[in-house]
Amino acid sequence: MKRLLLTMSLLLCCTMVFSQTITGTVTDSQGTPLPGVSIVVDQTAKGTSTDFDGNYTINATSSQVLVFTYVGMKTLKKSVGSDSVIDVVLTEDAQSLDEVVVTALGISRDKKSLGYATQEVDGEDFNLTNEQNVLGSLSGRVAGVQVTGASGASMGGTQKIKIRGVNSISGGDQPLIVIDGTPISNANFSGSDQADYGNLAQDINPNDIAEVNVLKGPAASALYGIRGQFGVIMITTKKGKKGPRKVDVQLSSSFSMESAYNFIPLQNMYGGGSSQTFRTLPNGDPYVDMSVDESWGPKMDGTPVRQVFSFYPQDPQYGQLTPFVAHPNNVEDYYKTGTTFNNSITITGGNENTSIRLSANDTRVEGVVPNTSLNRNNVGLSASLNLTDNLVVSSNINYAGNEGQRPSQGSEYGGAYMVQWFQRNLDMNRLRDYKYNDGTFLHWNLGRPDSSTGEISDFEPLYWNNPYFEAYENLSNDSRDRFFGDIGMSYKIIPELEVSGFIRTDMYTQNIEQRQAFGGTRLPSYSVGKYQNKEFNYELLAQYKNTWDKFSLDATVGGNIYDRDYSYLSQSTVGGLSSPGFYNIAASIDRPDTKSYKLRKKIRSFYSLVSLGYDGTYFIDASIRNDNSSALPKDNNSYWYPSVSGSVVFSELIDWTPLSFGKIRASYAQAGSDLSPYQTSLNYGVGTVYNGTNTLYVPDELNNPNIEPSFSNSFEAGLELNFFSNRLGFDFTYYQQKNKNQILNLDVSGTSGYSSSIINAGLIENDGFELSINATPIRSEDFSWDFTFNINKNNSEVVELAPGIDVYTYDSTTYSSVSSYLNSYEGEPFGSLVGQAYERDEATGEILLDDNNMPLYTDATHNFGTVLPDFNGGFQNTFRIGQFTVTGMIDFQGGGQFFSRSKMLAVRTGQDALTVATNDNGMNVRDPLDQGGGVKVTGISASTGEDVTAYVDARSYYRNTLGRRIYEEWLYDASYVKLRELRVQYNLGKNIMDKLPFETMSFALIARNPIMIWQEAPKGINPSEISTGAQSISWYESGQLPSVRSYGINLNVTF
Amino acid sequence: MKNIYINTLLIALFITSCSNFDEDINTNPNVPSQASGMQLIAQAELSLPGLSSSPQGEFMSQYLAETQYVGTSLYPQQSTSFYGWYQGPLADLQAVITSDNLTGTEGPIENQIAVAKILKAYYFWNLTDRWGDIPYSEALKGQEDFTPIYDSQESIYKDLFAELKEASNMIVTGNLSNDIIYDGDISKWKKFSNTVRMLMALRLSEVDPATAQAEFVSAIDDGVFTSNDDNLFFQHLADANNQNYWYGQIVNQNREWWALTEGLVDQMKPVNDPRLPIYGNPARDSGEYVGMLYGDEVNLGTQEYSLLGDAIYAQDAPVYLVTYAQVLFAMAEASQRGWIAGDTASFYESAIESSILQWTGNTDTVADFMMEPGIAFNDAIGIEQIATQRWVHLFMFGYEAWAEWRRTGFPNMMVSPNGAAVPARLSYPDNEAFNNEVNYNEALDRQFGGEDSIYGQLWWDE
- pLDDT at residue A17, as a whole number: 37
A631 touches chain B (CB under 8 A): yes
A455 touches chain B (CB under 8 A): no
Nearest beta carbon to residue B20 from set A606, A634, A812? A634
**Beta strands per DSSP E along A460-524:** 476-494, 497-516
Domain at A100-243: CATH code: 2.170.130.10
Continuous segment of H or E residues that includes residue B138: none
Regarding the domain delimited by B37-75+82-240+316-417, which CATH topology (the fold level of the hierarchy) does it fall under? Answer: 1.25.40
Report the pLDDT averaged over residues A274-282.
94
Task: Using the CB atoms, write b or e for A958-995: b if 16+ within 10 Å.
Answer: bbbbbbbbbbbbbbbbbbbbbbbbbbbbebbebeebee
Nearest beta carbon to residue B240 from set A589, A690, A751? A589
Chain A 590-629, CB below 8 Å of chain B: which residues? 590-591, 593, 596-598, 600-602, 604-606, 626, 628
B143–A819 CB contact, under 8 Å: no
Q: Answer yes or no: is pLDDT of A312 > 70.
A: yes
B86–A448 CB contact, under 8 Å: no
Report yes or no: A51 and A39 within 8 Å, Cβ to Cβ: no
Contacts of B300 in chain A (CB under 8 A): 274
- pLDDT at residue B59, as a whole number: 95
A503 touches chain B (CB under 8 A): no
- pLDDT at residue B242, as a whole number: 96
Contacts of A627 in chain B (CB under 8 A): none
Q: For A107-154, how does the pLDDT look when each residue is reduced to its tens digit (9 = 90+)?
A: 778 888 888 888 888 888 888 888 878 888 888 899 888 888 888 888
Q: For A258-275, how does the pLDDT look when each residue is reduced to its tens digit (9 = 90+)?
A: 999 999 999 999 999 999
Residue B369 or residue A4, greater confidence: B369
Backbone angles phi, psi at A520, to 5 degrees: -110, -170
A821–B240 CB contact, under 8 Å: no
Find which of B30, B105, B106 to mutate to test the A interface (most A CBs within 10 Å of its CB).
B30
Torsion of CA A277, A282, A287, A292, to 10 degrees: -80
Mean pLDDT estimate for chain A: 90
Q: Report the C-alpha gap between B218 and A183 in whole angstroms.
A: 71
Nearest beta carbon to residue B433 from set A452, A596, A861? A861
Chain A 387-406, CB below 8 Å of chain B: which residues? 391
Residue A18 or residue A1038, greater confidence: A1038
- pLDDT at residue A12, as a whole number: 38
Q: How far is B193 from chain A (nearest CA, A)?
A: 23
3-state secondary structure of A722: strand
Contacts of A964 in chain B (CB under 8 A): 72
3-state secondary structure of A459: coil
Q: For A737-793, how does the pLDDT look when each residue is reduced to its tens digit (9 = 90+)?
A: 998 988 888 889 999 999 999 999 889 999 999 999 999 999 887 899 999 999 999
C-alpha distances in angstroms, A149 versus A206, A400, A832, A912, A983? Answer: 17, 22, 21, 25, 20
Report the pLDDT averaged over residues A1034-1042.
88
- pLDDT at residue B72, as a whole number: 56
Contacts of A499 in chain B (CB under 8 A): 6, 10
A859–B256 CB contact, under 8 Å: no
B180–A704 CB contact, under 8 Å: no
Q: How far is B165 from chain A (nearest CA, A)?
A: 24
Residue A96 CA to chain centroid, in angstroms?
36
- pLDDT at residue A671, as a whole number: 86
Residue B393 or residue A11, greater confidence: B393
Q: How far is A700 from chain B (nearest CA, A)?
A: 6
Specify which residues A825 forms β-bridges with. Answer: A807
- pLDDT at residue A13, as a whole number: 38
Torsion of CA A97, A99, A104, A106, to 10 degrees: 150
CA-derived radius of gyration, chain B: 26
- pLDDT at residue A9, as a whole number: 42
Question: In CATH terms, is domain A2-90 a member of 2.60.40.1120?
Answer: yes
Domain boundaries, chain A: 2-90, 100-243
3-state secondary structure of B112: helix
Q: Answer yes or no: is pLDDT of A166 > 90.
A: no
The whole-model pTM stands at 0.87
A881 touches chain B (CB under 8 A): no
- Percent of chain A past pLDDT 70, that is, above it, reads 97
Find which of B26, B81, B303, B427 to mutate to test the A interface (most A CBs within 10 Å of its CB).
B26
Residue A435 or residue A74, greater confidence: A435
- pLDDT at residue B6, as a whole number: 54
- pLDDT at residue A1044, as a whole number: 93
Q: Report the C-alpha gap between B420 and A261 in whole angstroms.
A: 45
Q: How far is A590 from chain B (nearest CA, A)?
A: 6
- How buried is residue B342: exposed, middle or buried, by Cβ count under 10 Å (0-12/13-18/19+)? exposed
3-state helix, strand, coil in chain A (%, to 5): 10, 50, 40
The tally of CA atoms less than 13 A away on the side-chain side of residue A215 is 32
Point out the residues of chain B with pLDDT beneath 50: 1-2, 4, 11, 15, 17
Backbone angles phi, psi at A141, to 5 degrees: -95, -15
Contacts of B84 in chain A (CB under 8 A): 750
Q: Report the C-alpha gap between A378 and A360 in whole angstroms.
A: 6
Report yes or no: B198 and B327 within 8 Å, Cβ to Cβ: yes
A730 touches chain B (CB under 8 A): no
Nearest beta carbon to residue B434 from set A596, A691, A807? A807
Find which of A564, A703, A752, A828 to mutate to test the B interface (most B CBs within 10 Å of its CB).
A752
Q: Answer yes or no: is pLDDT of A37 > 90.
A: no
Report the pLDDT averaged over residues A496-518.
96
Q: Report the C-alpha gap between A386 and A489 in whole angstroms.
A: 10
- pLDDT at residue A45, as a whole number: 64
Chain A 994-1013, CB below 8 Å of chain B: which residues? none
3-state secondary structure of B231: coil
